[in-house]
Chains A and B, each alone.
With several copies, the nearest count.
Chain A
Amino acid sequence: MNSTGSKNGISLAVEVAGIRMKNPIMPASGTFGYGEEYAPYIDLDNLGAIVTKGLSLAPKAGNPTPRITETVSGMLNAIGLQNVGVDAFIEHKMPFLRELNTPVIANFFGNTLEEYGEVASRLDAIPELAGVELNISCPNVKKGGIVFGTDPKAAFEAVSTVRKRLSKPLIVKLTPNVTDITDIARAAEDAGADALSCINTITGMAIDVRRRRPRIANLTGGLSGPAIRPVAVRMVYQVVNAVSIPVIGVGGISTAEDALEFLIAGASAVQVGTANFVDPDAMQKVIDGLERFCLEEGVDDIRSLIGSLEVA
């Protein structure tokens, strides 16, 4: 893989929200730390982009333990968005990321509109950031905890607030815990999102039956991993058909074939999450597998696969 994404005459390069990527593969926020954690295991320069752990204004300590548990073909997590905070990110994490030959996207969140806006403007000031990903799956503490991402109006407000403080490309990450994800998708588009990523985790729960206790201290957690892929593919397909901005597919991807489901459904790029834990080399394997698929199928530009689903 060279830096243009072209090998064997096959181009894997894509562009999402104005961010040019060597290939459509990037980590999902929160599953790849700040990039450096995985540097010993995978060549970060081979990735389409890097997405950081979600950042907040102040450092956040996260939830009590246990925070994770394995489920059938998935896992639940309630990390509680533990992160170093946007300032420490700039000071301690950016120096490493800045040296990479891969676009960096900072994922972030807030608990109030003001927080969202403030983090956005601090991130906007980092020249080496290619773009940001706004996580709207957080409760709005001022509105009695209603989650920004489950109400079209609240989503519109959050995205608008951020948009005003940001000149960089803005990706908005949607939660699947809604009746109609296209309502939220359209609200985010109307408020100025340049792209959407979906899905975040599905809320779930697991119980230790001998001890009659929840398996994670927070009671509920977010379900991720192969188990959720069919739900993610469906939502990506719905959103692609509801908006005219690009969509990034996330949820249960661990192989090239999994990634292709999303691309064919219409995603312009995809994120690999939980699979990084299982195999730190997973994204490289997905990239290599995409190239092999294109070779076998006589596809010379991966973009021609995007949205190629034939529906009767």
Chain B
Amino acid sequence: MPNFKTRILANQEIAPGYWRMRIQAPGAVADCKPGQFLMFRVQLSLLPLLRRPFGIFRTGFQPSDVDGLPPVEYLEILYKIVGQGTAMMSELHQGDRVEILGPLGRGFSAGATGREKILVGGGIGLVPLFMLAQDLVEKNRVRLLMGGRTRDDIIAITEFERLGVETYTATEDGSLGEQGLVTDVLEAKLKEIGEADVFACGPMPMLQAVQKICARYEAPLQVSLEALMACGVGACLGCVVKGAGHSEQTPRYLCTCKEGPVFRAEQLDWDLMDATESSCEGCK
């Protein structure tokens, strides 16, 4: 399923400003790996011009509308309205035609079986963790630490619970779960458990804090990054991030779309990662 025209099966608001879109996608279940993303073409006309990148939340089959026909294979994205493109997406309806490029990029690798797994999600950053959780729960104890500014930012938690994931929630305003930062919860859990693989996705300041904590506890960390993207396939070199060992003299850039969006923490240069450098919503 490299680049295909397809149809929307459903598009609903699941929390204020957060939407879930289900898209018909033959081959998705076999093709999409946890942590991969797609490039969504908002309109067939050229406004907005560029496609928008979104993590793949999950894939599956739903019964066909038409009796006797086989089930319909789908993928789902969860998106937050932040600008023109996502606002236009929220106005699309079931049956509308859309164009998808994907699955793209390198996803998560599962890590050693048996070790505890801690997933850390910040707001919409939860998206790429769901398929990962699906894979991990088969052989591991999996916890999801979910953070957001307010209760509205905590989405899809029950779906993780249904998988058998233990969930912990922290909101900055205390409107759901513990009051505070999800990274405090992470620190507490690592202290408690000792050893664990950590997988994180969310705003850059959260990822930076997660990285520091994991380094301290020597917990292997994989992060999923966001970056401004034009092509999604490694051709434009617009989406790069500074790799370990980067300096003005020996610059080392990694492509978020092709070498990522999931990186092992050691691949990246955390000192040089500028929380405000990217204009991504997630990184503000």
Contacts and interface: CB of A to CB of B under 8 A. Distances in A.
Contact of B237 (A70, A82, A208): A82
B240 interface: yes
B252 interface: yes
Contacts of B233: 33, 37-38, 40-41, 280
Contact of A64 (B228, B234, B277): B277
B277 A225 contact: no
Contact of B2 (A41, A66, A75): A41
A79 B237 contact: yes
B184 to A, nearest CB: 28
Interface in A243-282: 254, 274, 276-281
Nearest to A217: B277
B238 A278 contact: no
Given A68-B229, A278-B49, 10 more contacts: A31-B231, A37-B233, A53-B237, A68-B238, A70-B48, A74-B49, A82-B237, A213-B276, A277-B230, A277-B231
Chain A residues touching B, range: 35 or more
A307 interface: no
Interface of A: 30-33, 37-38, 40-41, 53, 61-62, 64-70, 72-75, 77, 79, 82, 208, 211, 213, 215, 217, 225-226, 254, 274, 276-281
B137 to A, nearest CB: 32
A219 to B, nearest CB: 14
B227 A65 contact: yes
A-B CB proximity, top 6 nearest = A61-B251, A68-B238, A33-B235, A37-B235, A277-B231, A277-B230
Interface SS of chain B: helix, strand, loop or mixed?
loop
B94 to A, nearest CB: 24
B87 interface: no
Residue among B232, B233, B258 facing the most chain A CB atoms (10 A cut-off): B233
A62 to B, nearest CB: 6
Contacts of A72: 46-47
A82 B50 contact: no
Contacts of B48: 70
10 contacts: A33-B236, A37-B234, A40-B2, A61-B250, A68-B230, A70-B50, A226-B46, A274-B49, A280-B231, A280-B233
Given A66-B278, A66-B279, A67-B240, A75 B49 contact: yes
A176 B101 CA distance: 32
A78 to B, nearest CB: 9
Contacts of B277: 64-66, 217
B22 interface: no
A211 B276 CA distance: 10
B251 A277 contact: no
B235 A276 contact: yes
Residue among B229, B230, B242 having the largest count of chain A Cβ atoms under 10 Å? B230
A75 B230 contact: yes
Contacts of B99: 279
Interface in B212-236: 227-236
A75 B235 contact: no
A125 to B, nearest CB: 26
B143 interface: no
B270 to A, nearest CB: 15
A62 B49 contact: no
Nearest to B258: A37
